[in-house]
Amino acid sequence: MIKKITLLFLGLWMLIPFHGLAATGSNISIDMHYLVVSPAEDGSTNLMNMVNYSNSSSKEYKGDGKSEAVLKVTLPDHARDLNFLDSKIAFKQVDKGFITTTSVPANQTTVLPYSYRIPKGKEIKLTMDYPVGIMQILVPEGMGSVEVTGAEATSQGTFQFDDQNYYGYSIEGLKENQTFTLIYKKDVQPPSDRSSSSSKQSSSTTDNGNTSNVTHTAPAFHNPGHIRMWEESPLHSLNPHIFLIIVGVIIIAGISSFIYFKRKARLEEERLSADKEEKAFKQLIAKQKAIMDKIIELEESFNAGKLPEDEYQAKLAAYKQHLIQVKLSLRSFIE
């Protein structure tokens, strides 16, 4: 019990998902939900989730007693490639998601981090099995936008973490059993914070102060000098209008090719950036777990009388400081 309390007490804050997490029992609550949405290489949608369950009771929470489930997670239809990121919590996959079988200590918190994918073209329909106060949806900049139907979502603008910008959306006051749909548009970017400048139209002012548009018209005939130059050129046997059309097509084709390969390179760069971000996120999670394990080992050694109190306190303070730095990095990842 001591090591569980120590572990959960140091788990001060984490990220939270929002789709179908059913907290059974009135003593379990969920403060916030977070979801990072990004495109996968195969065209599917990757959804990275984390949830923080708090047990406000003075008793250890072991579920509703009707099954072995302590916490239940219901995934959307068509979800695949579930990846549970916490090896310290026992879980089992079930028909519509997964359950955990590790109890939540009294007055403490349990964190569930996991991810999954929704295949291309499949609907992401989410049903809340519990009321949700605030839900945060995050999309890496340049990787599209989301649209929510069935609930009111508010745009939160952009923010930066580790040289990567994100666009955020917020949903408040979701009710129990409320259903809404998340539409991910990876090719549609959110509106820019900067307003686009309007096109300007040339105008002139008349003597009475009224403004009128100025229109420049082409002459009704070709310039004689241009005609003479064409007749004296090696291309005079060609129709000049057809020649200009061919040149225009070549220029347009060149510009189109340049834009295509430029966009292809940008998409590849965005994909590599997304992989780098997910790798960094997982490394932070692993580092946090390693520090918590060290704290547990230190606690056990001290309780067994293998360490003097001054050495124990010094090492515990160092571990706590390191843990705080890791948690600040995780906080910056989603805020």
Query: Residue 215: is its pLDDT beyond 60?
Result: no
Q: Which of 129-133, 136-140, 198-202 has the highest mean pLDDT?
A: 136-140
Nearest to 39 by CA among 315, 325, 273, 215: 273
Residue 318 or residue 207, greater confidence: 318
Query: Residue 47: is its pLDDT beyond 80?
Result: yes
Handedness of CA 207, 208, 213, 219 (dihedral sign): negative
**Chain centroid offset of residue 117 CA:** 13
**How far apart are alpha carbons 238 and 198 in whole angstroms?**
42
Right CATH for 2-189 from 2.60.40, 1.10.10, 1.10.3470, 1.25.40: 2.60.40
**How far apart are alpha carbons 17 and 176 in whole angstroms?**
15
Q: How confident is residue 14, by pLDDT bands cut at 50, 70 and 90?
A: very low
Residues 221, 224, 229, CA angle at the centre, nearest 5°? 130
Q: Return the residue matching tokens 């996959």.
A: 93
Average pLDDT, the chain: 76
Q: How confident is residue 16, by pLDDT bands cut at 50, 70 and 90?
A: very low
Cα of first residue to Cα of last residue in the chain, in angstroms, is: 33
